[in-house]
Amino acid sequence: MTVKLVVVGGGSSYTPEIIEGIIRRHDSFPVTDIVLVDIEAGKEKLEIIGNLAQRMIEKSNKPINLSWTLDRREALKQADFVSTQIRVGGLAARSKDERIPLSHGFIGQETNGAGGIFKAFRTIPVLLDLAKDVHEICPNAWIINFTNPAGIVTEALLKHSPHKKVIGVCNIPYNMRHSTAEILDADPNDVLIEFIGMNHFVFGKKVYVNGIDRTKEVLEKLSGDLDYSPANIVNLGWSKTFIEATGLLPNPYHQYYFQTKEVLEKDVKAFKENGTRAEVVQNLETSLFNIYSNPSLYEKPKELEERGGAFYSDVACSLMDSIYNNKQDVQTVNTINNGAIPDLPEDAVIEVNCMITNNGPKPISVGALPHTVKGHIYQMKAFEELVIRASISGDYNDAYTAMVMNPLLANEKGSKVVLDELLEAHKSYLPQFKSRGN
Amino acid sequence: MTVKLVVVGGGSSYTPEIIEGIIRRHDSFPVTDIVLVDIEAGKEKLEIIGNLAQRMIEKSNKPINLSWTLDRREALKQADFVSTQIRVGGLAARSKDERIPLSHGFIGQETNGAGGIFKAFRTIPVLLDLAKDVHEICPNAWIINFTNPAGIVTEALLKHSPHKKVIGVCNIPYNMRHSTAEILDADPNDVLIEFIGMNHFVFGKKVYVNGIDRTKEVLEKLSGDLDYSPANIVNLGWSKTFIEATGLLPNPYHQYYFQTKEVLEKDVKAFKENGTRAEVVQNLETSLFNIYSNPSLYEKPKELEERGGAFYSDVACSLMDSIYNNKQDVQTVNTINNGAIPDLPEDAVIEVNCMITNNGPKPISVGALPHTVKGHIYQMKAFEELVIRASISGDYNDAYTAMVMNPLLANEKGSKVVLDELLEAHKSYLPQFKSRGN
Amino acid sequence: MTVKLVVVGGGSSYTPEIIEGIIRRHDSFPVTDIVLVDIEAGKEKLEIIGNLAQRMIEKSNKPINLSWTLDRREALKQADFVSTQIRVGGLAARSKDERIPLSHGFIGQETNGAGGIFKAFRTIPVLLDLAKDVHEICPNAWIINFTNPAGIVTEALLKHSPHKKVIGVCNIPYNMRHSTAEILDADPNDVLIEFIGMNHFVFGKKVYVNGIDRTKEVLEKLSGDLDYSPANIVNLGWSKTFIEATGLLPNPYHQYYFQTKEVLEKDVKAFKENGTRAEVVQNLETSLFNIYSNPSLYEKPKELEERGGAFYSDVACSLMDSIYNNKQDVQTVNTINNGAIPDLPEDAVIEVNCMITNNGPKPISVGALPHTVKGHIYQMKAFEELVIRASISGDYNDAYTAMVMNPLLANEKGSKVVLDELLEAHKSYLPQFKSRGN
Amino acid sequence: MTVKLVVVGGGSSYTPEIIEGIIRRHDSFPVTDIVLVDIEAGKEKLEIIGNLAQRMIEKSNKPINLSWTLDRREALKQADFVSTQIRVGGLAARSKDERIPLSHGFIGQETNGAGGIFKAFRTIPVLLDLAKDVHEICPNAWIINFTNPAGIVTEALLKHSPHKKVIGVCNIPYNMRHSTAEILDADPNDVLIEFIGMNHFVFGKKVYVNGIDRTKEVLEKLSGDLDYSPANIVNLGWSKTFIEATGLLPNPYHQYYFQTKEVLEKDVKAFKENGTRAEVVQNLETSLFNIYSNPSLYEKPKELEERGGAFYSDVACSLMDSIYNNKQDVQTVNTINNGAIPDLPEDAVIEVNCMITNNGPKPISVGALPHTVKGHIYQMKAFEELVIRASISGDYNDAYTAMVMNPLLANEKGSKVVLDELLEAHKSYLPQFKSRGN
């Protein structure tokens, strides 16, 4: 019996982490075949990653067949798991997602605001195409999506692709759990956070350690300068009042919504000094690939952890392990609501604790949204629907509505200016958008 | 048989309009008794208004008994209708509601943002007290509330008072109908707008003239410089893109949410030049009362129309007429949702077309919220619930949550600064708020 | 300008009532053209009705062009209103709907239980076909459906036909209003009943006379032998306990659900003595057509009122009049819920008070279902969905589910026996049902 | 550290099973103290059970302190778990619950129809009283309710008692899982059934073995004479058509609803031959207690399995074990819906797979009710609400509504007759019912 994993976007700098995760879990989750797939433009990086991965596997002595290719359809044959970690347009596109909104006084960020909207616009058609291939070539395979904006992309796939075995993952819940464990001086494996909301807009509602409710303690310790951000965003900390009044654990991305002015000032300053975050990352990437190219490197280098997405792949490997073994353990993933949050649409994708089985994640009911944030969560979900609608329709008005209804853009004229510039800047990656509005 | 109307806040400069409305409808709606009620602080104005109203009635030759008093409980005896048009703290309080947020870079406005929240905080306890009296003294009377924020206040009364015969009215739907009629060169009586949303956040979804759907025509004509604002807010106009993409008629207050930056600049400039809107209105009021004092004035003077609330009283008189006569005609009022918009809570107060009967308004089903604005409408309704909660509880955290969850304030630190200053500024009108937070 | 009405099933014995209604309303609702349409099998009756209608019009001196034809598509050209009053399979089919269930100890009735299910199975495909023609030939026409089961048929059309201008009517709300007026010694025009539920399962929740709530009085007077049935069902009366405990006005069809045993005994007895109700009606029809054939008859004969459907056409004429004149008055029709009853699906058809405009009926919100009957109403609606599903799919299992989930059939084996016999008996009218189960 | 279990209704013949379950799990779930509590009338049985339990514990060599008492409040001190297995009125009352409905041609059964309603009427006030004591004396204790009708009783406690740590258990899901395992020749521990519905009206929607969906296979094998009933009800088997058309696994109690006529005939026959089931059970009980009294009996005798409730206690012990150890495993219990089935009220109690933690059961989302049974499930839930309402209010009309809205009683007059007789028969156990209707 074989267990085959196809890594779409295999030339990504994150791949060594996923290889390491697979090696580490090999006793319980015996992957036999890994194929790294990428596109022509990523050929060179794919080669570097492929060779590093090969060295890592050799050193591990695990019986894993590794190959890499540009032929996606060929790679998908008999796949059991397909992980997706792509970046349509690369860091150059991300740089525009950041630069253009910032230049008009709006948050310019990879997954939030205008940047996140355009990342979705570029990504959704490509992944719908992949899902079509998967459905045709390896219909039993699970797609484990960690391409951002992970929640929106997962909802788009589940609503608009025939392939229904799609799960989205993110490292934010993982990071929140680990930071919370640190705060409480507990083992992360003993910590269970009850999450409520969507990817990058998720809150922690309850924190249990071995089933004991320690939420209050966490909230008290949380206010102040504590930082439990992923490396890619620097957290400004939260005031005692905000934490106490909402009664919830925010996630680091909430700063964009509740500290907009301060973040914007900081980001504009950073932009002026160092360029966009994409450009910073570009440098990081260059040096990472230099390290990766070293033929005497046989393991995931420490430097990778400085990239924001650390632990993404670990989360994905854990998930695949639990699916494969029908573990029925609890993991936090992006999947269809199905009533777990009764205030949100049943077919919405939410980020939620699930029991993981080999027929997929089964959400554990969360109950009604807390009154303090229910308006915002509902609004963000409605906004996400607008983004998906526009990603599919390619309609200018749909795109405009998604922009103007996003709380970080909510300006009649400004939204249009940013929209028009981004549509122009990314036009080669947005074939679905025909008209440019009026 | 008597028909008795009690005007709470009878010393208001709007009262002559209501008197005129009662006189004009006397044949079909034969009010026999009017009592104007006010508080000690408004005694002088009440005297002026009382005398003017007396002259108006005399000139009309209608058999209406008029009196004025500071004894509210006495006035309420045998009342059939109780209209409320109060301003707790007067224009001086309004001035603070405008000045303080503006000074911190937030919208400072009578019914939106921080100003609207504090108007609610001051008003709700006072009107709950009135409703208790009404319920005890004249349990069959209808309270016709046109005290702002009218939607929030009406919801607070319907949720927290034993008296359930409460209807909120506003002149915005009236103005939208009249402006739309003008655009279409139609008789306002032939125009029916299907409204969706809440007071001051209501949209027009469909425009019918004699039952013919002319929405598209209105939307096309609407984009540009067209102005259908009440006098108290100057409209910046809407772009073709916004109108076309949402597919809805915005109301003038929407500019605060979708043109925030521009409105703020304009308002800050106006504030620097002329002080707050409250101060402008104060001057208007002074000159109005000068006019009212003229013993040879026997009618509502034209100058009143320059005040923003024109037609409020007309809307109220129409409503009372239809209730009295069980007219079963269609009017737009603020009442309990009851499923008319199935996405919103059943017990929420919405602004909706109703069939008016003498057992109250019966909402006409609107159906699901349009996808373009459903997130925003839901969020604003959740925000309104937070305001009501804080108005009743007097809890600092509740107040903070209402502030930070309002889209015009959504800033963790800024919300607190504005909240603390306003709590201090209005403390004599906010007995329910004991603590001042941390 | 012309106003054209097409009466589908024009050879029905009810047609003289509709002709009379049109003549009577001619001043306000000036119908210019009436075409009676029927199928080959109804040719002879159509001829009789056509001639009678012609004599009625001539006597009235109204400028109405009348014609009759078997060519439906020709008739539909330029139609403004299309009324439907068909009986697929005629009274012979109805007789089987009644006889077969009765022979197995189940209620055998035209619109309830197995009979109603099969009437739906036969009718829905035929009316979907009509709706397709209407949509193609006269897309602005309103279909006024009074073919039973009127609620289910209307929901099927609104869900599965491209034509969305469909309204269902029934004489039960009319009869309840008139009987209630009689009980209260009031003018029926002053009585407003707040209805809740679906066609033939509707309850009266509140009774207002000129807006005064007189529900309690009606409920008290209602318990006992009072009869407000249509002629086609004899009411057994309701006990004081039932009326008081539910707090609602039942409709005559509720006896099938809450007096099943007694009704069944009575019906079996009647069946043994006089055959099925269909056979009784067949005799009535024969004698009615004898009367209609009399060339000196110039008006609707009194004998028609003995048929159960009296006032159906009057309800339909009132409705068309209000649509034509955009009257915005209140009528009780079958239309899409749209939140009026928030517990039921938004796209369900309910029987509800509506404001009638020339762009259709706008339901007046009813609010949550009363706790006493909410389970039953919800269940009946879910059952109706099963009937529609089976009518369209022609799937045996779907049909079985509709049967066994109907409270009058709820027997695993009995449902199958009755289903199989009825499928066989009606097979020429059920082309959609291919297989016969197992 | 102590772990104390209080068994309310300790004199029940089921108690030896719970003692055995505690002994067997002692290594992982080290109960230190057990107190058996009963009422004066059960004193003699309590003595017999206490002595047997003592012998069982002695033989096991586990360090468990056992005692028995009639002083409930004393017993509750420092309790961690309180299990409830009471029968208000004893088997004599049950006999009336069975005999009276049967004598009028209705199903007479312990937990369904009129019998179940009256069991609820008698039980709910007594358990509310217990819950009040628990909340006061041992507020951290979990109440594990296996008193029938377990779902209704649990909902009543969760809605009307201050104590929110209440879980209902039943052996039906356990039996269905075991029978299904047998059908599939699988280990019951590998079988997971996705349940949907409420206690005694639950369906199996999906059957997984080690995560593999084998529902279809089970459904195919299920039709026919297969029996997976608890001992207390003899199953008539299900037809291929019913199973195939609903696509669901029924539970044995569904025969009352879908095979009413046949079950009634069988039950009436059995009643005539052997008296009520209660009387049969009474004999069983007598002989069980004879066996229990044997001082050389040191274990749960086999004969207990012939009683219908076998495995109830096992289910309860498993549950307590998982709570104690925060196992996060999946068990099927009765708990608050919280959105797991979005069509049912959020605060309804459903029977649902839950992740069991030491802060209680967390339901795993089930999603929308299947269209085939959604009407029935919703109706039964609405009926359960009526039962709870009447249990609390003691209002005659409420009781009548609960009766007439139950599908097994749905007869206007018959419901009243049965209601009146049962109210009279049980009056000493129904202090809340003051009036007897009209």
**Per-residue pLDDT reduced to its tens digit, C176-187:** 999 999 999 999
**Per-residue pLDDT reduced to its tens digit, C81-95:** 999 999 999 999 999
- In the numeric block, the tokens 């569904």 are attached to D254
The contacts of residue B101 (CB under 8 Å, 6+ apart) are: B107, B108, B109, B113, B114, B115, B409, B418, B422
Grade residue C427 by pLDDT with cuts at 50, 70 and 90: very high
Handedness of CA D339, D340, D341, D345 (dihedral sign): negative
pLDDT in tens, chain B (438 residues): 899 999 999 999 999 999 999 999 999 999 999 999 999 999 999 999 999 999 999 999 999 999 999 999 999 999 999 999 999 999 999 999 999 999 999 999 999 999 999 999 999 999 999 999 999 999 999 999 999 999 999 999 999 999 999 999 999 999 999 999 999 999 999 999 999 999 999 999 999 999 999 999 999 888 765 555 554 555 668 899 999 999 999 999 999 999 999 999 999 999 999 898 899 889 989 999 999 999 999 988 888 777 666 677 889 999 999 999 999 999 999 999 999 999 999 999 999 999 999 999 999 999 999 999 999 999 999 999 999 999 999 999 999 999 999 999 999 999 999 999 999 999 999 999 986 655
Chain D: nearest CA to C378, how far in angstroms? Answer: 6
Hey, which residues does B335 pair with through a beta bridge? Answer: B350
Task: Please compute Rg for chain A using Cα positions.
Answer: 21
How far apart CA C147 and CA C82 sit, in angstroms, is 12
Q: Counting Cβ atoms within 10 Å, is residue D291 exposed (0-12), middle (13-18) or buried (19+)? A: middle
Using a CB–CB cutoff of 8 Å, tell me whether B410 touches chain A: yes
How far apart CA C403 and CA C32 sit, in angstroms, is 45
Using a CB–CB cutoff of 8 Å, tell me whether A330 touches chain D: yes
Answer for the pair B151, B384: CB distance below 8 angstroms, yes or no: yes
Choose, from A253, A256, A312, A429, the residue flagged as catalytic: A253
For B134, the token pair is 């009404």
How far apart CA B338 and CA D169 sit, in angstroms, is 37
How far apart CA B377 and CA C203 sit, in angstroms, is 33
Nearest alpha carbon to residue D198 among D245, D165, D150: D150
Handedness of CA A242, A247, A249, A252 (dihedral sign): negative
Residue B200 is labelled as binding a ligand: yes
pLDDT of residue A1: 83
Chain D: nearest CA to C344, how far in angstroms? Answer: 10
Q: Which chains are within 8 Å of D by 3+ CB pairs?
A: A, C
- Which residues numbered 105-144 in D keep a CB inside 8 Å of some CB on C? 105
The answer to whether the peptide bond before residue C361 is cis (omega within 30 degrees of 0) is no
Interchain contact, B339 vs C208, CB within 8 Å: no
ipTM for the predicted complex: 0.94
Nearest alpha carbon to residue D188 among D323, D306, D315: D315
Chain C contact set for D410 (CB, 8 A)? 257-258, 260, 407
As a 3-state breakdown, chain B gives helix, strand, coil percent values, each rounded to 5, of: 50, 15, 35
How far apart CA B334 and CA B113 sit, in angstroms, is 20
Task: Please compute Rg for chain C using Cα positions.
Answer: 21
Residue D174 among the catalytic residues: no
Using a CB–CB cutoff of 8 Å, tell me whether A297 touches chain B: no
H or E element, residue B206: strand B201-209
Backbone angles phi, psi at D2, to 5 degrees: -110, 155
What is the count of residue pairs from B and C with beta carbons less than 8 Å apart?
Answer: 81
For C393, the token pair is 């799919």
Chain D: nearest CA to A342, how far in angstroms? Answer: 5
Q: What percentage of residues in chain D have a pLDDT greater than 70? A: 95
Domain boundaries, chain C: 4-168
Interchain contact, C398 vs D245, CB within 8 Å: yes
Using a CB–CB cutoff of 8 Å, tell me whether A357 touches chain D: yes
Answer for the pair D183, D225: CB distance below 8 angstroms, yes or no: no
**Per-residue pLDDT reduced to its tens digit, D78-113:** 999 999 999 999 999 999 999 999 999 999 999 999
**Per-residue pLDDT reduced to its tens digit, A376-400:** 999 999 999 999 999 999 999 999 9
Give me chain A's average pLDDT, please: 93
Using a CB–CB cutoff of 8 Å, tell me whether B438 touches chain A: yes
Q: Where are the beta strands (DSSP E) in B239-359?
A: 329-336, 349-357
Give the up-direction half-sphere exposure of residue C10: CA atoms within 13 A in the CB hemisphere: 32
Using a CB–CB cutoff of 8 Å, tell me whether D308 touches chain C: no
End-to-end CA, chain A: 58
Choose, from D228, D253, D256, D257, the residue flagged as catalytic: D253
For C248, the token pair is 């609602």
- In the numeric block, the tokens 């709700």 are attached to B124
Q: Give the strand order in the sheet containing B191-198.
A: B191-198, B201-209, B212-213
Using a CB–CB cutoff of 8 Å, tell me whether D342 touches chain A: yes
Chain C: nearest CA to D372, how far in angstroms? Answer: 7
Residue type, C302: K
Nearest alpha carbon to residue B342 among C376, C236, C344, A182: C344
How far apart CA C355 and CA C352 sit, in angstroms, is 10
Using CA atoms, how far residue B381 sits from A371, B146, B168, B350, B374, in Å, is 11, 19, 16, 9, 11
User: What is the DSSP pairing of strand B166-168 with strand D81-84?
Assistant: unpaired
Q: How many CB atoms lie within 10 A of CB B325?
A: 17
Q: Which residues of A are annotated as a binding site?
A: 94, 148, 170, 200
Nearest alpha carbon to residue A197 among A50, A394, A337: A337
User: What is the DSSP pairing of strand A33-37 with strand A4-8?
Assistant: parallel
How far apart CA B180 and CA C180 sit, in angstroms, is 42
Interchain contact, A359 vs D329, CB within 8 Å: no
Interchain contact, A382 vs B380, CB within 8 Å: no
Interchain contact, A355 vs D329, CB within 8 Å: no
Answer for the pair D251, D176: CB distance below 8 angstroms, yes or no: yes
Answer for the pair B372, B245: CB distance below 8 angstroms, yes or no: yes
Backbone angles phi, psi at A353, to 5 degrees: -65, 135
Chain D: nearest CA to A203, how far in angstroms? Answer: 18
The contacts of residue A113 (CB under 8 Å, 6+ apart) are: A101, A106, A107, A256, A406, A408, A409
pLDDT of residue C11: 96
Nearest alpha carbon to residue C201 among C315, C328, C341: C341
Backbone angles phi, psi at B301, to 5 degrees: -75, 150
* Ramachandran region, residue C56 (left: φ > 0; alpha: ψ -120 to 50; beta: rest): alpha
pLDDT in tens, chain D (438 residues): 899 999 999 999 999 999 999 999 999 999 999 999 999 999 999 999 999 999 999 999 999 999 999 999 999 999 999 999 999 999 999 999 999 999 999 999 999 999 999 999 999 999 999 999 999 999 999 999 999 999 999 999 999 999 999 999 999 999 999 999 999 999 999 999 999 999 999 999 999 999 999 999 999 887 765 555 554 555 668 899 999 999 999 999 999 999 999 999 999 999 999 898 899 889 989 999 999 999 999 988 888 777 666 677 889 999 999 999 999 999 999 999 999 999 999 999 999 999 999 999 999 999 999 999 999 999 999 999 999 999 999 999 999 999 999 999 999 999 999 999 999 999 999 999 986 655
Question: Which residue in C257, C258, C437 is closest to D241 by CB distance?
Answer: C437
How far apart CA A55 and CA A300 sit, in angstroms, is 11
Nearest alpha carbon to residue A379 among D370, B343, B149, D133: B343
Residue D436 is labelled as binding a ligand: no
Residue D397 is labelled as binding a ligand: no
Angle between helices C113-137 and C374-393 (to 10 degrees): 60
Chain C contact set for B337 (CB, 8 A)? 365
Question: Which residue in D373, D396, D404 is closest to C258 by CB distance?
Answer: D404
The contacts of residue D189 (CB under 8 Å, 6+ apart) are: none
What is the SS3 assignment for C352? Answer: strand
- Local structure of residue B369 (DSSP, 8 states): P
Q: How many CB atoms lie within 10 A of CB D270?
A: 15
Question: Which residue in A371, A373, A410 is closest to B260 by CB distance?
Answer: A410
Interchain contact, D245 vs C414, CB within 8 Å: no
Interchain contact, C412 vs D242, CB within 8 Å: yes
Using a CB–CB cutoff of 8 Å, tell me whether C253 touches chain D: no
Using a CB–CB cutoff of 8 Å, tell me whether D287 touches chain A: no
Q: How many CB atoms lie within 10 A of CB A84?
A: 26
pLDDT of residue C398: 98
How far apart CA D379 and CA C377 sit, in angstroms, is 8
What is the SS3 assignment for D299? Answer: coil
Nearest alpha carbon to residue D365 among D209, D248, D200, D195: D195
Q: Choosing among B222, B241, B374, which should be mutated to test the A contact, i.e. which has the most A CBs within 10 A?
A: B241
Q: How far is CA D398 from the centre of its chain?
A: 24
pLDDT of residue A236: 66
Chain B: nearest CA to C347, how far in angstroms? Answer: 10
Q: Quick check: do D and A touch, 3+ CB pairs under 8 A?
A: yes
Residue C317 is labelled as binding a ligand: no
How far apart CA B306 and CA B284 sit, in angstroms, is 9
**H-type helices in A81-171, by residue range?**
90-103, 113-137, 150-160
Fold type of domain A4-168: Rossmann fold (3.40.50)
Hey, which residues does B36 pair with through a beta bridge? Answer: B7, B68
Using a CB–CB cutoff of 8 Å, tell me whether C400 touches chain D: yes
